[in-house]
Structure formats: structure tokens, C-alpha cells
């Protein structure tokens, strides 16, 4: 099998409502879809959707520029030799893991189609035919966040993430307390600062909520800030945005800063890197999610396929953006949330056959 062309599409993703976090509010995004075309007629799809220009050091135009630099040097390669493909990408461009991730994901899709296996099967096999997910409650009044928590609990979600930060810490504390009053025993709760809290406010929040079983997700921005407060907080800390590659994951574990992770597939470089992090976490019994920033059915399926292979005792869910997106890329097979769970697509590869009319014409073609 040889790569004959790489097509890049931009997909407009208006957000249903406004998705507010500590440092940004999202109403519309553009996702980048990559199509790997081969001489066998098989094609593979990958996707990356930066969460706006300030959430992380990622940008739609940066993704396109990185792919433009890399793509011509991949034409003629066998895309199912995924390790060699990743090495070729790193030899072509330093960094931009989020952009490389879209190509890596498409390569896994192609490998599955070539061998007629689902991606989760190629990754070692799935636990069951569905995965758990969780609901992220955007920043809003404490009353509204508690209302949403009760509603999502009724809809079958077993884990909730409340967005905190970007406001008076007293409002965050009130929101967490109101949510804890409506949750039934066994519900999991994460308070996610998305890097927006100071160390001081994180300690205040944790100590004032010491009676509430929850985890703190990426409250502060840097590993050093986390290290400063680790001995003062009353809750486990999961790292998210700061873990932008496997090395940082390894360091945060070795330095005893991470009690778990909110992990994003494209941030670390794609399915290949996420598989490595899955295995490191299993070796150290560290719980983690398998999420991404945002994006449609392609990235959602990638998260679900990897999430399906995580050891059940460590799996904290696969978050997908579909509740905030009006239309599927693949109406029949696009991942959907039902009763807090997502069925694994059954087709080979990612199991997604996107309607290319949804993407329009490619914005770039290589090969």
C-alpha cells in the first residue's frame, strides 16, 4: 500500500450554545480533517480541532501549515507502517504534535481497513462493545451548574466534570457544594480549572470542599505550581493541558505530581502516543480519560476506540463533543451518547464513513 495523495478539509463546527471554561468561551470552531488516499483505493481519515486560539498552543492555520510541511514527504510511503510514518513526520518537522496527530489517526484508520479490523482490535482488543463517557458542565451560575448536574445524572452519566475558574473562587466553591448536594452516591465528580486557578485558590477550594469526594483537574497552569500545592490540597490531582507529550507524562509520574490524567489524543500526537500513555498509566495504576479538545465523528471515534482498550479500573471515560455539534459526519455510525455510554463503531478502522459533501472541497491537496 502506498500513499498517493493527502487531502485537507476545513469543517465549520458551530457550537450549540456557548461552551465556557476558565480562560475562554467557545461559540464556533473549525476542525481540520485529513484524508489519506492510497493506491489500493482505501482511504483513511483523521481530525484535529484546536479549541480556539488561546486554549492551548494550537491553531487551525498552524495545523494546516504543519501538514503542508509534512505531507509531500509522506507521499509514496506505506501509511500502515505507522511507526515509520511517525518517524518520517518527526524528521520533516519538529513539534506540532497536534497536527501530526490527524495524520497518525488516519493511518490507524487505514490499517484497520487494510486488515479488516477495528482500531480498538489493533490496539489490543476492546473491553465490551461500548465505553463510558462523562459530561463537562460549562462555567455558569452555581444554581445553573447544579441544575445541569442533576439533569445529566438523570440522563445516565456516571461522571461529571464541573468547569471552574475565571471567576471569584467563592462562586466555584458554591457551585461544587450545590452539585454535591444533588449527586447520588457513586457519581464521580471532577473540578476542572483548565489551568485557570492560582495555587492559592486551588488550596482554598480543596480545603473548603474537603468533605466532597472529587478530583481536581489541571487547576493551575504549570507542573511547578502543581508541585507547590500538592501537599496542601485534600483531593487527587489529574493533569490535563500541561501534559503535551509522553515525556511530560513520564516526568509528572516520576515527580509524583499526577494522580491521574485528563488526556487528549491529538495533544500528545495521536493514537500511537495515546497507546503509549495508556500503557504507562496501566503500569502505574493511574486513572485517565481518553478525550480530545473538540471535533466531529472522526476524532470522537478515535477517542472511543482507544478508550475501549483501557483497563476498566483506570478508565475515566471518553469525552466527545457531539452534544454541542448539530450534525454528524457519518449519520449512521457517528458516535452517540446514550445513557452515559457510547457504542464502539463496528466497521473496520475507525468505523466512520464521512459524507464528504459535509466537508466541501479540500483546502489543500498534496501528491
Instruction: Show the beta-strand stretches assigned E in 39-185.
Output: 43-48, 130-132, 135-137, 159-163
Cα-Cα-Cα-Cα torsion 80, 83, 86, 92, nearest 10 degrees, comes to -100
Neighbours of 320 (CB within 10 A): 29
- Cβ proximity to Mg ion: between 71 and 302 the closer is 302
Catalytic annotation present for 264: yes
**For ligand 0XW, the closer CB: 47 or 240:** 240
Q: Can you tell me which of 261, 294, 324, 359 binds ligand 0XW, judged by CB under 6 A?
A: 294
Q: Which of 100, 113, 163, 178 is catalytic?
A: 163
**In the range 190-209, which residues lie near ligand 0XW by CB under 6 A?**
192, 194
Is there a contact between 173 and 208 (Cβ–Cβ < 8 Å)? yes
Size of the site for ligand 0XW (CB under 6 A): 11
**Minimal distance in Å, beta carbon 23 to Mg ion?**
12
Asked if 113 is an active-site residue, the reply is no
Distance between CA atoms of 190 and 262, rounded to whole angstroms?
Answer: 10
**Residue 153 vs 161, nearer CB to ligand 0XW:** 161
Residue 319 found at the interface with ligand 0XW (CB under 6 A): yes
Contact 50, 98 (CB under 8 A): yes
Give the angle subtended at the CA of 26 by the CAs of 353 and 278, to the nearest 5°.
55
In terms of CB distance, is 118 or 163 closer to ligand 0XW? 163
Q: Where are the beta strands (DSSP E) in the chain?
A: 3-20, 25-38, 43-48, 130-132, 135-137, 159-163, 188-192, 215-217, 237-239, 260-261, 337-338, 341-343, 364-366
Site pattern 184..203 for Mg ion (x: CB under 5 A)? --------x-----------
- Do residues 75 and 366 make contact, with C-beta atoms less than 8 angstroms apart? yes
Interface with ligand 0XW, residue 86, by CB under 6 A: no
CB of 190 to Mg ion, least distance (A): 8
Contacting Mg ion (CB under 5 A), which of 52, 165, 260, 262? Answer: 262
Nearer to ligand 0XW, 10 or 192 (CB): 192
User: Which residues are catalytically annotated?
Assistant: 163, 264
Binding site for ligand 0XW (CB under 6 A): 51, 136, 161, 192, 194, 240, 262, 291, 293-294, 319
Amino acid at each position: 500500500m502506498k500513499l498517493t495523495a493527502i487531502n485537507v478539509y476545513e469543517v465549520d463546527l458551530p457550537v450549540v450554545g456557548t461552551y465556557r471554561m476558565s480562560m475562554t468561551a467557545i461559540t464556533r470552531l473549525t476542525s481540520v480533517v485529513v484524508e489519506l488516499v492510497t493506491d489500493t483505493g482505501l482511504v483513511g481519515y483523521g481530525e484535529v480541532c484546536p479549541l480556539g486560539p488561546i486554549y492551548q498552543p494550537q491553531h487551525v492555520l498552524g495545523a494546516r501549515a504543519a501538514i503542508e510541511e509534512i505531507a509531500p514527504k509522506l507521499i509514496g510511503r506505506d501509511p500502515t507502517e505507522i511507526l515509520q510514518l511517525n518517524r518520517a513526520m518527526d524528521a520533516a518537522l519538529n513539534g506540532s504534535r497536534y497536527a501530526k496527530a490527524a495524520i497518525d489517526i488516519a493511518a490507524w484508520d487505514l490499517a484497520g481497513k487494510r486488515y479488516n479490523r477495528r482500531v480498538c482490535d489493533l490496539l489490543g482488543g476492546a473491553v465490551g462493545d461500548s465505553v463510558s463517557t462523562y459530561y463537562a458542565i460549562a462555567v455558569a451560575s452555581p444554581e445553573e451548574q447544579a441544575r445541569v448536574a442533576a439533569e445529566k445524572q438523570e440522563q445516565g452519566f456516571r461522571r461529571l466534570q464541573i468547569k471552574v475558574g475565571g471567576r471569584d473562587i467563592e462562586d466555584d466553591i458554591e457551585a461544587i457544594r450545590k452539585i454535591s448536594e444533588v449527586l447520588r452516591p457513586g457519581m464521580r465528580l471532577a473540578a476542572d480549572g483548565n489551568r485557570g486557578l492560582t495555587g492559592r485558590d486551588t488550596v482554598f477550594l480543596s480545603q473548603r470542599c474537603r468533605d466532597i469526594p472529587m478530583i481536581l483537574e489541571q487547576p493551575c497552569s504549570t507542573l511547578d505550581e502543581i508541585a507547590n500545592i500538592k501537599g496542601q490540597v485534600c483531593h487527587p490531582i489529574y493533569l490535563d493541558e500541561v501534559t503535551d507529550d509522553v515525556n511530560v507524562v513520564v516526568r509528572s509520574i516520576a515527580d509524583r505530581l499526577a494522580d491521574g490524567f485528563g488526556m487528549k489524543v491529538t495533544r500528545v500526537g495521536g493514537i500511537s502516543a495515546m497507546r503509549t500513555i495508556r500503557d504507562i498509566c496501566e503500569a502505574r495504576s493511574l486513572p485517565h480519560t481518553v478525550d480530545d479538545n473538540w471535533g466531529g465523528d472522526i476524532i470522537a471515534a478515535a477517542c472511543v476506540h482507544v478508550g475501549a482498550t483501557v483497563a476498566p479500573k483506570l478508565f475515566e471515560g471518553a469525552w466527545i463533543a457531539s452534544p454541542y455539534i448539530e450534525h454528524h459526519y457519518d449519520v449512521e455510525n457517528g458516535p452517540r451518547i446514550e445513557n452515559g455510554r457510547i457504542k464502539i463503531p463496528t466497521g473496520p478502522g475507525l468505523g466512520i464513513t464521512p459524507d464528504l459533501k459535509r466537508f466541501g472541497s479540500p483546502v489543500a491537496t498534496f501528491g
